[in-house]
Amino acid sequence: MKKIFIVSYNPSFNRLDFIKFIFENTENGLIESKKILDELISKEKVTFEIENDKVIDFIHGLRELKVLCEIDETSS
């Protein structure tokens, strides 16, 4: 399982919103998550942080998300 933490700044509330997505290796789960991410991306900058402390910032598209989902560094 891949865990991706999304931190987005909400200027209207002047605070950070933390949303945690857990991706399973299922096409449906990934598509559902992408729909939610599309909404966040269209509104504001979104930061992705993986468990290994690697951080990726992006505003447009989901190419980075696809790359992130392919990088599964979960050791269990």
32-74: pLDDT as tens digits? 666 666 665 566 555 554 443 333 333 233 344 443 444 444 5
Per-residue pLDDT, 43:
61
User: Strand 46-50's sheet: what is its strand order?
Assistant: 15-23, 2-10, 46-50, 55-58
pLDDT tens string 22-35: 444 445 555 566 66
Asked if 57 and 44 count as a contact pair (C-beta separation under 8 A), the reply is no
Overall pTM surpassing 0.75 (yes/no): no
Asked if 44 and 9 count as a contact pair (C-beta separation under 8 A), the reply is yes
